[in-house]
Structure 1
């Protein structure tokens, strides 16, 4: 065992602490080239990650940067900085700790490059920027350790790919660099370890005692959930009761729109005037900081939030987590549960609030998976080439490079380990010329090869533009929202450009928990005034809808195979039994399709359980096939578990619809001229450096960037259909927005076993999808009553009663 210095022993003793076994193990194994620590929330994994650094720096001999800490969130980096200062200050260690994020002043950033602190806390984007400077080798000289916190979150996105490419660069500068990964929630530790390590070097996994299982259940409410919708307004009173009974409650939502609406309804029911805040990524940064500060000081009884608080910020006195809406992903649920009772060996307490009747089933499946420690996650596939293109441009900013050396460096990154030299050269050629159809334009002539074979920027001034556009996060097109004042009032946050374009003066919407009235647009800013109305006409965000994970869908299908469901409330059990009497429940090894007439139209409901994106794509492809077969489809709607199509002709035979080759051909044809493809192209083109949103003079609006990317897309599709970026776009669209892989998995799973049920009327399981069709924002009691009457009529038609 590596001994703990006396100074540290004394400090631990004064606090009444002793080293946890995994903290001692991290100290013992500080010389490992790569080590992944998986420890429960509250288990002191951050201290475990930093303990070897603090011990190594205690003698004051090291000069310059020693340890780099990477966090997915700026707020988490700031939180870790505060926490690290405690042992450093109390033991009077000669250690400088600083953070570097988008919020750091430019003067401090410049000084950090020349005189870096011993410990630098940063984000993937800021690290990539640091590696782009000519003095990067001097800045990182002497770097010994990199600590990647919440590595599971980074592993799921292109931010993680960019980070690991940056680490491959650092490893070339500092060959002895040690890598440490920290996580509390990992479904496949070996996959994360291979991501962290320098390929093909090994990475050992250190598993801490997981501690007690969480205390989780569904919230019991006197009123049954509605048949459709995502607001969970029925549970407001029950949630308020839980807030009163606990010190601090985090109330998680899957979308920002739902968080805003729930927060508004919560305030209307807050008769005790309890202090409650709201936190999500579209709020003004200062407002988010005020909420975070109030939480840390224990001034709030509850905070309504989204994924902005998923990760490991230590909120202290949180003793309850409430998840509103089905979590869609077991790993996300476990991560959020861990925010409560942020202490070692203390069980976290959480309640799930299904937003509608089907989510009761999904929540039960998620609970069972959490109890079984069965986490979910999909393989991400090979490293994305648009990120690689950006990395090549970043490397060129730092000075001339040899292509073979850079290729050798890149394939030490796990996600790019199987990258062929041909694919690497294609990315390099794109960075140099823009590709065949664009090589005549100077703006895309960015690299040149020198007589000695090395590559460099054609114009050194291009480095400024490249640095201004570093990053893989694709902001939605947003406009700032401010109170209307002569010189610009208080900033409130941001709304999507498309949403702003739909507003007329006098319209009201929610932002930051308050109702505001739209006054007009000025200088690309949405100007608003306070509004005293108790109900806004429209919600503020469309929000990102998570797709239910494949593993969770499989659990639901397995549950449907049971004879009964004693764990479910009576209203949901009766619903499923009635479905079984009228038709049948979907099964894992076959595809259930129900065909029935309703309201003078023919309907087909396909229960694919493939996730929202895939079911949406399935609707597009099947309606196209139905059109070709003369079935006259009129439209469709999709949820995570089913696609409902309506039209003029009944579906009598389903086999011809599910020819995988015909579906793929239909997808390729549809994609090439569709807005989904253009949106995906725009994102990849921005990451790869073909389109710059930020320039030294201004930032392009979303509309300007869309026009630029659409023109380039149409040009390439016509004159260079095999262009690298079009190939990248096809792969990204198939994997992401349309999720065609899940459709292929579904068809492979069911094979020829397609069960078409021709029925006389709408079924209990299909009925809620009709409410998805007509669910639009409504205002006024009359329209609400009409909607309620339509809901009742539908449910009676399906043999159901509330």
Structure 2
């Protein structure tokens, strides 16, 4: 073990361990400016990242901060602290390790600034805050290395863009700073390497032995899944049996609401009273920490969870992962699978449970991709300008700056390597004055230029407000939920919009408990315990994933096969029947079916563009239909299709799918739409035009929405080319409406549209009529009516026997 001190090699030897080749490679390449390590889950990535640090700190005395570790999760930083402190203590190394996140006390944060530890574990937001202080040069004096863990997760969001700008600032303070990226799931290593490295410096890539393929399959289920829905309640007995057969099982869901529902159903079926828990981002911190501690001790047999446990946290003795619902993304599936048998060269074990009939196909496509090591992911494009605006204000908090020097520093960050000086100047002008339409308002006059040409805060007191609003995470308008009474126990949070629908006496699920709504006290939802078994369900924000482009393409390719022997009989027969009465969608063509149902004309568009894009397609096509006199009445969208109903049958679809006309229609629709205002609000908050947090108070979601709506309407009328309006349109096109997927669909189809006019609903279209909202029924009769509706629809489609 060349170049490792004896104290470390001896520690490995006493445990009978050997340094893995990729760990040794990280030690050997520790002097390089940037290194990206790609290693399987359980392969010792974290130790590989820290071995050079431990070697350097063991070799000689180092004053102050030596290594900064950045992770996407507070819980992951705490987990790494726990796992790293043990070996350091056992080796007898005089190394101080601390974490610094939003959960860290004010007193400890102040002490860390005055006397930084040797190793500091933090998050992108906390790092950005640290760089905003005037004493940042002293805090980071002597910093040698930065380790970015789970870099693939950060690269997919604005948090990664903010982190890379912060690293550019650190590199200016510490020119010899070395960067390390760690990940188990990278679909494009070169792209991640370019993001990590200081532009235009190179980044070395170290790829570890991937180890054995995981044991992944569908969970054996005796019953066919329902035709629609996402709860997978039908599989509860088989999931419970799998839990009993394993030590610890993680049961992943794609949304918090689904996790709550499933946990409740699982608990009701838990006849043996096995210890099971629930974990997601809307739960109170104390409750999350309680579950995490129980997991570490190995006290829980199962944990129902969401993306809050996706990443590299080593939670106890997990030997099975169950994914409820189609994973939507192969990379996410691989990440979740890796939570089981978290050991080097030990195969992970995972089982997939489709929530509805079409997800059987999607799950099999995901399994095929995972076995082929075909990860998915779309390029993110250049760094967003709202994050850049926030960074300019953060830089101003730390002291005066020269514009040219700050621009040069920013363009060393990978996502902003292509930033033009004109774009930078636009952002600087916005930060200084608010822009043309807002320059008359004093509150947006935030920067001023000094006589020496440097820029500084116009009012030094504004630094406090800027620091209070640092970050790019846009949480929903969430309200705290507590038990009623003085000192009532906190349970978590629910969306403000959901709280507005509650009346006293309503019941809902949170943290696996059924509670009764008592009332709203200021910004706290007060509840009491309730013994009911059928609650009204809280609609948590959660993540609503769209099927990735690559996975959608794989599904389309699957549908071209003559037969599908790997599919269960009920799904295979369903696809064969659809092929007989219509045709299956094809990769290079757009299939549209037109048929009557329930006295209305229906058209089903199989775009396979993901839920957001299919939703947008429904909005745009119905608008075009109105212009053409086709009288549409409504639509519903899934990941693979959009179903429209109206008064007039569709006979000529070509005019509906002219991409330029669709985009023009989108511009008109977006201008005054709530989607655009919602996007504007998010970008305006990140760019700090709107401050959610103020000293002594916090704006409610309604207050923030009201003020952002006024700003949006003002800019739309008087300054439609304002920087934030341009940012908003770009964000809406890329995110909420996902127009790029519609454009990709149009380019893939090249005008090849197949219209099939039929006399009744088709097998693939029938389940869409059961989507949420089509059967407006509540209460105990809902499930029975849904079953009756499903039976009637399937009989009409000729698939009642499947």
Could you tell me the TM-score, scaled by structure 2's length?
0.99
Partner of 2:705: 706
Question: Is this contact kept in 2: 1:680–1:729, CA < 8 A?
Answer: yes
Question: Is this contact kept in 2: 1:537–1:777, CA < 8 A?
Answer: no
In 2, the alpha carbon distance for the partners of 1:460 and 1:786 equals 63
Question: Is this contact kept in 1: 2:229–2:772, CA < 8 A?
Answer: no
Once superposed, what is the RMSD of the aligned Cα atoms? 0.9
* 1:458-469 equivalences in 2 (<5 Å): 458-469=458-469
Per-residue deviation at 1:778? 4.9
Kindly provide the CA deviation profile for residues 191-236 of structure 1, in whole angstroms up to 9, marking residues without a partner as x: 1000000000000100000000000000111110000000000000
1:495 aligns with 2:531: no
SS in 2 for 1:709: helix
SS in 1 for 2:697: coil
Question: Is this contact kept in 2: 1:249–1:322, CA < 8 A?
Answer: yes
Partner of 1:243: 243
Per-residue deviation at 1:524? 1.3
Question: Is this contact kept in 2: 1:636–1:646, CA < 8 A?
Answer: yes
Question: Is this contact kept in 2: 1:316–1:342, CA < 8 A?
Answer: no
Partner of 2:274: 274
In 2, the alpha carbon distance for the partners of 1:187 and 1:778 equals 44
Per-residue deviation at 1:16? 1.2
Which deviates more from structure 2 when the two are superposed, residues 777-786 or residues 395-404?
777-786
* 1:48-447 equivalences in 2 (<5 Å): 48-447=48-447
1:566 aligns with 2:573: no
Kindly provide the CA deviation profile for residues 483-506 of structure 1, in whole angstroms up to 9, marking residues without a partner as x: 011x14000000000000000111
1:585 aligns with 2:584: yes
In 2, the alpha carbon distance for the partners of 1:614 and 1:712 equals 27
In 2, the alpha carbon distance for the partners of 1:693 and 1:339 equals 35
In 2, the alpha carbon distance for the partners of 1:116 and 1:449 equals 33
In 2, the alpha carbon distance for the partners of 1:344 and 1:696 equals 48
Partner of 2:543: 544
Partner of 2:686: 687
Give the unaligned 5+ runs of structure 2: none
In 1, the alpha carbon distance for the partners of 2:538 and 2:502 equals 11
Per-residue deviation at 1:4? 2.0
- Please identify runs of 4+ aligned residues in structure 1 that moved more than 6 A: none
In 2, the alpha carbon distance for the partners of 1:544 and 1:154 equals 16
Partner of 1:800: 799
Partner of 1:473: 473
SS in 2 for 1:318: coil
Per-residue deviation at 1:598? 0.6
Question: Is this contact kept in 2: 1:509–1:540, CA < 8 A?
Answer: no
In 1, the alpha carbon distance for the partners of 2:270 and 2:556 equals 39
Kindly provide the CA deviation profile for residues 340-387 of structure 1, in whole angstroms up to 9, marking residues without a partner as x: 000000000000000000000000000000000000001101000000
Partner of 2:753: 754
Kindly provide the CA deviation profile for residues 279-330 of structure 1, in whole angstroms up to 9, marking residues without a partner as x: 0000000000000000000000000000000000001310000000000000
Question: Is this contact kept in 1: 2:5–2:58, CA < 8 A?
Answer: no
Per-residue deviation at 1:541? 2.3
In 1, the alpha carbon distance for the partners of 2:318 and 2:434 equals 52
Could you tell me the TM-score, scaled by structure 1's length?
0.99
Per-residue deviation at 1:14? 1.0
Which deviates more from structure 2 when the two are superposed, residues 4-13 or residues 760-769?
4-13
In 2, the alpha carbon distance for the partners of 1:537 and 1:284 equals 20
Kindly provide the CA deviation profile for residues 589-631 of structure 1, in whole angstroms up to 9, marking residues without a partner as x: 0000000001100000000000000000000000000000000
Kindly tell me the number of residue pairs found equivalent between the two proteins: 801
Per-residue deviation at 1:412? 0.5
1:6 aligns with 2:9: no
* 1:749-788 equivalences in 2 (<5 Å): 749-772=748-771, 774-775=773-774, 778-788=777-787
Partner of 1:525: 524
Question: Is this contact kept in 1: 2:70–2:147, CA < 8 A?
Answer: yes
In 2, the alpha carbon distance for the partners of 1:187 and 1:284 equals 34
Kindly provide the CA deviation profile for residues 236-273 of structure 1, in whole angstroms up to 9, marking residues without a partner as x: 00000000000000000000000000000000100000
SS in 2 for 1:390: helix
In 1, the alpha carbon distance for the partners of 2:223 and 2:381 equals 44
